[in-house]
Structure 1
C-alpha cells in the first residue's frame, strides 16, 4: 500500500493551513502518554506560519529524522503489500501473462487487417463466375440442339469465360494489395523489435543480453496493448479493497460511499484535504464535504456499508462531525485499533494533582491523550460486565486521590473489591452494597456538604466554586461522589428507600455541580428501571463501553447516537477498556481507550495520595456507616459561620442560628408537641455540649436581632478567630 497524496488546487486556504498545522503537533498542555502509549516516539515540530501558502505542498513528516524513519517503515510495508497484490493479480485475466497474450492476439489481428473480407468477397465473385462458365459450357456441349440456339449458347459461354477471367484477375489484385498492406503493418511491428534488438546489442555488446532486453521490451509493449480486457476493464490498484492491501484514493473513497448508498452515481465528495496516510502509516485520514443538501447523519449512519465497501472491520472506520453540517472527518485504520497492550497511565509518574484541571482519561485512535474537565461536570459510565467500567472510573478516582483537598464519597453496589484501596482516604465509603449505607452517604452529602458549600459561597459573595476560591477557602475544595452499580442498590432496596435514594441523588447531581460536587455513576445498562431518566439526563459526561445492543448504547450516550454511527455494540471483546466517550454537553463522541492501572499500581498511587493528604492534614476521620454520628467540630463551626453570614448583618442571634441548623441537621429540628421555648432549650443545650466536647470556646455576646432587640448570639469576627 503506497501513500497517495494530492495537492489542493487554488489559492492558499487558511482552513487547510490550520488543518495541516493541527495534524503536525500533539496539541494542548497537560499530561502526555509515555512513548509506548503514543504512535510516534518523537512528535513532529509545530509548523510555522506560511505566508506563501506552500505548507500543504510540504508534508510534515519531512521536518525531522523521526518522520523519515517512519516513512521508510511505511515504504517497506507498502513494498510487501505491493508484491502480494502483484502475485494475486497474476492468476486472473489482469495478470501480465494474460495481458501479453491479449496484446499478441490484438497485434496479430491488426497485422492481418480487414482486407481478408475483400479477398473473401473477390473469391466469392470468382467462384460464381466460374460456376456460370461451367454451366454455359455444359449447355453448349449438347449435340442435338438446333444451330441457332447452339450459337446463342456459345456466345453465353464466351461471356461467362470473360467474366470468370476478370474475377480471377480481380482476386489476384486484391491478394497482392493485401499482401502489401500486411507486409507494411508487419514491418511496422517488426521495426521496433529489430531496433530494440540492435540497440540492446550495441548498448550491451552482447547478443544474449540484448535479446533478453528486446524480449522484455516486447513483452512490456504487448502487455500494454493487452492491459484492457475484452470487456473493456483495466486493472488498477484501486480495484483491490483496502482490507486486502489496497489503498484509499479519491476514486475508491467516492466508490465506497456510493456502494454504501450515501452517494448517487452522479454525485462526488468535495475533498478539503488529500486522502493520505497519517505520518505513522497506521491510517488514512481525509476531510470532505458531502454533496449540497445532504445531511451529515446520512453518512454517519452508513458506517457498516462503508466498512463492507472498504473490506475492513466496522471498528476501523471512524467518521466525525465537522465544523458545519455536511462536513465529515474520516479516519480509516489499517488494522483494528486498541487490540494491543493498554497504554501506561500518566498518574504513575504524576505528583500532586489539581482536580480543577483536566484529568487524563485515555488515548484516542489518533494516539492523542484525552483529558476531561470534571469541574461542574457529572459522569455516567455504562457497559456490559467485563467491558472495563471500573478501570475507566479509576482514572477519575485516582486523580482525585492525588489531590489532597478533594473529598471522596464512594459506594460499590456490587460489593466488590474495586473501591477497597480507597478506604483509608475516603470521607465515607460502602463496599458491602448496603442501600442503608448509601442512604447515609447521600444524606451526609446533601445535609452537610451542600449547605456548608452554599454558606461558604454566600460568605465569599460568589455564585459557584472556582479554583481561586478553593485556594482561599478549603471548604470549597472539590468533592467526588461515586456510586458503582446503582442498579444493584435500588434493586435491593424497599420501595420507600429506593425513592429516597433517587431523590437525594437527583438533588445532589442537579445542585452539586455549581457547589463543586462531581457525581459519578456506573452501571451495566442505566435504563429508567435502574437509574431514573431525571437523574440520567443530568449526567453530562458519558462513557459507553461495550454493549450488547444498540439500544443499550443509546441509553448511555443518548437517543439516536447508535443510528448515527456511534454504537458501542460494535466494540469488540478484544478491545477491553475501550468506549465511546462524550466529554461534556456539547462534545462529539469519540472512541477512547482508558488508561489501565494494575492492582499494585493502584496501591502505589493510593500510597502516594495518603502521604499527600497526611502532609496537607486532610486525612478523614471515618465514622461507622449507618450510625448517627455528630458532625465534626470544624464542620459544625462552618455551619455557625454560614448561619451568621446568612443574616447579612455580621451577627446572628441564637434563635437564628438554631433555625438555620434545623434545616441542616434533623437533630436540631423541633420535635412533635415541643414548644418554641422547649425547642430552643434542647437545641441550645445540644449545640453547647458538642462545642464543649470539641474544646471550642465560642463567645456568645449580646447582639442585635432582626427586630432590633438584643439577645445572646454570635459575631462573624469571633467565629473567624476561633476557626
Structure 2
C-alpha cells in the first residue's frame, strides 16, 4: 500500500475506524465512534482493513429515545456486521448465564432445593390447620373415655354402701355422656378435615392433571414432559424463598466472579466507592452490554448533580474492588459533558498478550502531513497523531517500552523523504544506530559536544533556511499545500534520548548553551515543521528543564515507580484523576497513557512494536526511497575537499596528490600506496599548478628508504608513498588520522 496514512478531518488524536480481523466491530454503545464503526463493519465484510482515522462525532448517527435525548443503541448494530456482532455477544452471554445457573444449583437458591421447598409447602397447605382440631378432639375423646373407665371401675365395687353406690353410678353415667359427646365431636372434626383437605388437594391437583391431560392429548409424551416441567417450575416458584425468607439476588454479584454487569451492580459499586451518596443513583445512558469482541463490559452513565467527573475518575481502585477485578481492568473516560462517564471493565487484564504488529512493516512510503498510527487502544482501535506543529515527551522507567513507543514517529519520519533526522542518544547505546545511514546528523556516544553541534546546526543553519522559505511565499507557517509547491519545505525531526545524561556529562557552560538552544528550537520551530521529541526515564527538572518540558505538547507516560513521576509526564493532578502510570504492570510492555495537546484526557494505549529485523527492513526501504529521491544526507567532506577549503596553495597541491592516488586503484579497490613522481607532477600540471619535482620534494619530505626507486610499468622510477602525503597533511594542517 503506497498511501498508508490518511489525514484525519479534525487533525487531532483519534480512534481510527480500522479494525483488525479478529475484532470486526466496535462496542455496541460507543456513542462517539458510530461513524467509524459503520465504515469499519463495511470494510470488514469486504475483507479490507484500512488504517484511516475517522472523524469523531458526538451528535451524529446516534439513535435516540422518541421521548427524550438519551443515547440508546447505535445505528451500526442494524447493519449485517452489527447483527453478526450482536449474535456473537448473545452466544457469550448465553454461555456465561449457563455457568452462573450451574453455580447457583449448589446453593440453597438452586432450582432443586426450590422445588423441594415448593413441594413441602404445598403439602403443608393441603394438610391445613384442621389436623390440630382433630388432634384436640382426639385428646378430649381419650380423656373422656379415661374418665368413664375410671368412674365405671369405681362403681362396680360390690362392698360400697348404697348411697355411695348411687353417687358413683351418677358419675359413671355423666362420664359416659361426656365420652359420647367427645366421640361425636371427634368424628365431626375428622369429617370436616377430610372435606377441606380433599378440596385443597383437588385445587392443587386439578391444574396439574389438566395440564398433563391436555399435554398428553395434544402432543403425546413431549406434551406430558412439558406439563411436568411447568409443574416443577411452579413448585420452584413457590419455594423461591428460603426458610429464612431470603430471595436469590445479585446484590453481591461481581464481574470478577463471572457475573454480568447490571444497573443495580453499577449503582451499588459507585455507592460503595463513595462516588455517589447512599440514596443517589447514576443514570445509565446506555445498557450494560458486553462488547462486540466479548472482552469487556461497558456502559455510559450520567452522574448525579453536583458530582464532578474527576471524583469518579479518581476512584478507580475502589471501583475495581467493588467489581472484583484488578485496577488495570477498570477504565473510565470523561465524556463530552462534565457529568458523562464511559465505564469499561475488561474480563482480563488488557495488553498482557503479544504486542500489535505495526502497519509500517508493509508500508511503501508515508507522509508526516497525515496522522501517524502510534498505538492501539483498549478497544482495539488505531490511535493516530498528526505530528505537524507537535512536540513530544516520552517518559517511563527502564523497560517500560518508551523507546519502542518513540520508534513509531521516528520510523514514520524515516519513510517520509521530506523529513530530515537529527538524532542524539545520551545513553550511548545502539537504539539509534540503524538510523545512521539516513540521518543528517547523529550522536550515539552520549557526547555533549556532538549534541551541541547538532543543536547549533539546527538553530543556525536549518531554521534560518526554513524561515526564509516562509518569507519567500509570504505565509505565516508551513502547510501541506506549500510543501507541494516548494521542495524546500521539509520536516525536521530532532530526537534526544536521555537529555539528563548529556547534562551530567556537560560542563556548566555547555549546559547553559544546550538548554538555551533546545528552548529556542522548541519554541520557534513548531510553525516550520520542526518536531522536537525527548525521551527520558524520569522527566523531572534535572532530566528535562521545566521551561522546555512544559511546551512539549504530546506526552506518553509508560510505567512509573510513583504517582508523582506519572504526573511529571502527564501533568499535575492526572494520577489522582485516574490516569496513574504507576498502575501499569511490568507484563504490560509498551503500554502507556498517550496525551496530545488537543485531547482533554489521556488515553491508555499499547504502542506498536517493531522487532529489530522489522526496523532494519523499514530502514532499508527508507534508504531506497531517499536514494531514489536524492534525499540521502551528504557524507562527510573528503580529506582533499577539506584541504581545498583552506584556500592555501600548498594545501591545494596536497589535495591534488590525494586525488591522484584515489584515481589509481590498488588491491581490492583501495587507493594505490605508491606513485612515481612524474605521474604526480603531470597531475599537478593538469590541475593548473606549476610544481616542479624539486618543489614537490621539498613539500613532501621523504626518508631515504622512501626515496628508493621502485618498479613502475617495466622500468624503475623515483616516487612518493601515499602514507607520506597523509603524514604531511596531518603535520601541516592537523587534518586526517
Q: Give distance in 2, aligned partners of 1:400 and 1:317.
A: 35
| Correspondence for 1:688 | none
Which residue of 332, 335, 341 maps to 1:328?
341
- Aligned Cα RMSD in Å? 4.1
Mean Cα deviation higher: 245-254 or 551-560? 245-254
For residue 447 of structure 1, the aligned residue among 449, 453, 460 is 460
3-state SS of 2:97 partner:
helix
Equivalent residue, structure 1, for 2:552: 539
Which residue number in structure 2 is paired with residue 425 of structure 1? 438
Cα distance change of structure 1 residues 198 and 497 upon mapping to structure 2, 3 Å threshold: same
Partner of 1:672: none
- For 1:174-323, what aligned pairs fall within 5 Å after superposition? 174-205=189-220, 215-235=228-248, 240-323=253-336
| 115, 122, 144: which one aligns with 1:107 | 122
**Who is 2:393 aligned against?**
380
Q: How far, CA to CA, are the matches of 2:407 and 2:513 in structure 1? A: 27
The residue correspondences of 1:119-130 to structure 2 (distance < 5 A) are 119=134
The structure-2 alpha-carbon separation of the partners of 1:549 and 1:18, relative to structure 1 and needing over 3 Å to count, comes to closer
- Asked if 1:497 corresponds to 2:510, the answer is yes
Question: Structure 1 pair 187/48, CA: closer, same or farther in 2 (3 Å)?
Answer: closer
Q: How far did residue 322 of structure 1 move?
A: 0.8
Report whether the alignment pairs 1:411 with 2:424. yes
The answer on whether the counterparts of 2:64 and 2:71 sit within 8 Å (CA) in structure 1 is no
Partner of 1:344: 357
**Equivalent in the alignment of 2:110:** 95
SS of the equivalent of 1:305 reads helix
Instruction: Give the direction of change, closer, same or farther, for the CA distance of 1:259–1:279 in structure 2 (3 Å limit).
Output: same
Q: 1:601 and 2:614 equivalent? A: yes
Q: Write out per-residue CA displacement over residues 27-72 of structure 1, whole angstroms, 9 at most, x where no aligned residue.
A: 999xxx985999xxxxxxx969999999988765665544444444
Asked if 1 retains the 8 angstrom alpha-carbon contact of 2:73 and 2:286, the reply is no
The change in CA–CA distance for 1:118 and 1:400 in structure 2 (over 3 A counts) is same
1:529 lines up with 2:564 in the alignment: no
Secondary structure class of the residue paired with 1:414: coil
Question: How high is the TM-score relative to the length of structure 2?
Answer: 0.71
Q: CA separation in 1, counterparts of 2:311 and 2:282? A: 13
- Equivalent residue, structure 2, for 1:395: 408
Secondary structure (helix, strand or coil) at the match of 1:481 reads strand
Counterpart for residue 24 of structure 1: 38
CA distance in 2 between partners of 1:55 and 1:561 (Å): 29
Q: Is 1:507 aligned to residue 536 of structure 2?
A: no
1:590 aligns with 2:603: yes
- For structure 1, the 5+ residue unaligned runs are 1-14, 39-45, 633-723
The alpha carbon displacement at 1:452 in A equals: 3.6
The 5 A counterparts of 1:564-643 are 564-622=577-635
Mapped partners of 2:621, 2:363: distance in 1: 10
Question: For the residues of structure 2 that align with 1:414 and 1:431, how far apart are their CA atoms?
Answer: 8
- Report the CA distance between 1:420 and its aligned residue: 0.9
1:213 shift after superposition: 5.0
CA positional deviation for 1:320: 0.5
For residue 255 of structure 1, report the CA deviation from its aligned partner.
2.6
Distance 1:47 1:557, change over 3 A: closer
Moved more, 337-346 or 316-325: 337-346
**Deviation sequence 1:435-492 (CA, Å, 0-9, x none):** 2222222222233333443444444444433333444444442211111122222233
CA contact (8 A) 1:413 1:431 kept: yes
User: Which of 356, 361, 366 lines up with 2:379 in the alignment?
Assistant: 366
SS at match of 1:429: strand
2:301 touches 2:340 (CA, 8 Å); kept in 1? yes
CA contact (8 A) 1:238 1:248 kept: no
Q: Residue 378 of structure 1: CA displacement?
A: 0.9
Question: What are the Cα deviations for residues 593-638 of structure 1, in whole angstroms up to 9, with x where unaligned?
Answer: 21222222222222222233234333222559xxxx99x9xxxxxx
- Determine the C-alpha separation between the residues in 2 that align with 1:265 and 1:218: 41
Check whether the contact 1:542–1:581 (CA below 8 A) recurs between aligned residues: yes
Aligned 8 A contact 2:288 2:297 in 1: yes
Number of paired residues?
A: 601
CA-to-partner distance for each residue in 1:215-268, whole Å, 9 max, x for gaps? Answer: 434322222222232344433678653233322222322233233332333222
**Whole-angstrom CA distance in 2 between matches of 1:494 and 1:359:** 38
Distance in 1, matches of 2:483 and 2:123, equals 90
Residue 95 (structure 1) shift: 1.8
Quick one: distance in 1 between partners of 2:594 and 2:503? 26
Q: Deviations over 1:182-201 (max 9, x none)?
A: 22111222223323333344
**Alpha-carbon distance in structure 1 between the residues aligned to 2:195 and 2:347:** 59
Question: Within 2, Cα distance between the matches of 1:27 and 1:502?
Answer: 50
Once residues 240 and 614 of structure 2 are traced to their aligned partners in structure 1, the CA distance between those partners, rounded to angstroms, is 61
Structure-1 separation of matches of 2:334 and 2:627: 47
Bigger Rg, which one: 2
- Aligned CA distance change for structure 1 residues 253 and 25 (closer, same or farther; 3 Å): farther
Deviation (angstroms), 1:377: 1.4
SS of the aligned residue for 2:298 comes to strand
**Preserved CA contact (<8 Å) 1:382 1:543:** yes
Corresponding residue for 2:683?
A: none
CA distance in 2, matches of 1:460, 1:328: 47
Contact 2:41 2:82 in 1 (8 A): no
Taking a change above 3 Å as real, the CA distance of residues 22 and 350 of structure 1, as seen in their structure-2 partners, is closer
C-alpha separation between the residues in 2 aligned to 1:16 and 1:550?
29
Change in 2 beyond 3 A, CA 1:36/1:599: farther
Kept after mapping to 2: 8 A contact 1:24/1:47: no
CA distance in structure 2 between the partners assigned to 1:284 and 1:236 by the alignment = 20
User: Are residues 419 and 139 of structure 1, via their aligned partners in 2, closer, same or farther at CA, if it must alter by over 3 Å?
Assistant: same
Give TM-score scaled by structure 1 length. Answer: 0.73
2:413/2:419 contact within 8 Å kept: yes
In the superposition, relative to structure 1, how do residues 205 and 296 fare at CA in structure 2: closer, same or farther (>3 Å)? Answer: closer
Residue 314 of structure 1 contacts residue 570 of structure 1 at CA under 8 Å; is this kept in 2?
yes
* 3-state SS of 2:528 partner: coil
The 10-residue stretch of structure 1 (154-163 or 319-328) with the greater mean CA deviation from structure 2: 154-163
